[in-house]
Amino acid sequence: MFFIRLSFSLVLVLLLHSPRTVIHSNTAANEQNNELYLTRKKESYNFLEESLNSLEGSKASTFETVKRRVYSVDLSIAHDKIIMDLKFSMLKNIINVKNNILNCISESILHMVRAIEPILEETLTYNKFCTSIEEQFFPLYEIDEIYKDKIEGCRESTHDTIFLNYFGIPINDVELTLNTYKFDPEIMFRHLNHIENCLNEFYLKMNRPFNEYVKETELYRNFMKTYKKGDTNIENVDYIKVFLDKFDSGWDTTKVLEFFDEMYDHYSLNSYYVPCFLIL
């Protein structure tokens, strides 16, 4: 009986001791696994674990970042910000276009200035103004040689003056002026109107006869003071034509020569008083 009880006690002791051992072993194993897990989380031993750690961390980080940004957006001003960005973008494009146009204009002006002199030489040689004077007053050649010299000297007398008045600016000055006004494009654009009007006036002078300058002369004004208009019922009288038809070769030579000089002066005058390509 004693041996039976002793055996039962030993078995009971072993049974009670075994669970502790198992529990202790499991606890130790869990702690070891936790340490390994924590170690893997804190320190990567290879590129796979490093990538895994980065991926695991980036998911939460990216989501939280996006969420914070979304929540921080002020919807009441978001539309205005977008419109403002678009306006600034469009403004940059407009400025670029304007600069390109300005550069194109500058190059065009320089090209015209460089090409103008040889063109003018031919234009002034065959201008309508001097040609029409020769045709109208050719009969005066036979009256006095001095008239012939004055009439045939029309081109030579007017060439330098008209060139100076309309185009008398060195090309280097034009280049310097254009470069200066690139910083103030508004002046350049406003000046385009002057260039157009000035060149148009010069063109008309090259292609019109002398008649319109007759009324600017003293000889014509004196003629009109003494001229009898005749029938007052006549309308639209061309008094310049009347003056030319009645032009008297016996008039005072000095006054006739002054008549030609005055026409030459008015023909050569630039009514804008500023060369076409000079930008002020």
Greater model confidence, 214 or 182: 214
Predicted confidence (pLDDT) at residue 246 exceeds the cutoff of 80: yes
Greater model confidence, 13 or 117: 117
Mean pLDDT over 136-153 rounds to: 93
Average pLDDT of the chain to the nearest whole number: 74
Mean pLDDT over 73-85 rounds to: 59
Predicted confidence (pLDDT) at residue 201 exceeds the cutoff of 80: yes
Predicted confidence (pLDDT) at residue 217 exceeds the cutoff of 60: yes
Instruction: Give the range among 85-89, 136-140, 143-147 with minimum mean pLDDT.
Output: 85-89
Q: What is the pLDDT of residues 227-236, one digit of tens each?
A: 866 555 566 7
The owner of tokens 């004693």 is 2
Confidence tier at 109 by pLDDT (50, 70, 90): confident
Q: Are 206 and 116 in contact (CB under 8 A)?
A: no
Q: What is the pLDDT of residues 12-56, one digit of tens each?
A: 544 445 544 444 445 545 554 554 444 444 444 454 455 555 555
Q: What is the pLDDT of residues 83-99, one digit of tens each?
A: 666 666 666 666 566 67
Q: Is the pTM of this model over 0.75?
A: no
Can you read off the two tokens belonging to residue 19?
Answer: 């669970």
How far CA 233 is from CA of 215, 229, 237, 245, 250, in Å, comes to 23, 10, 10, 21, 31
- First-to-last alpha carbon distance for the chain, in angstroms, is 136
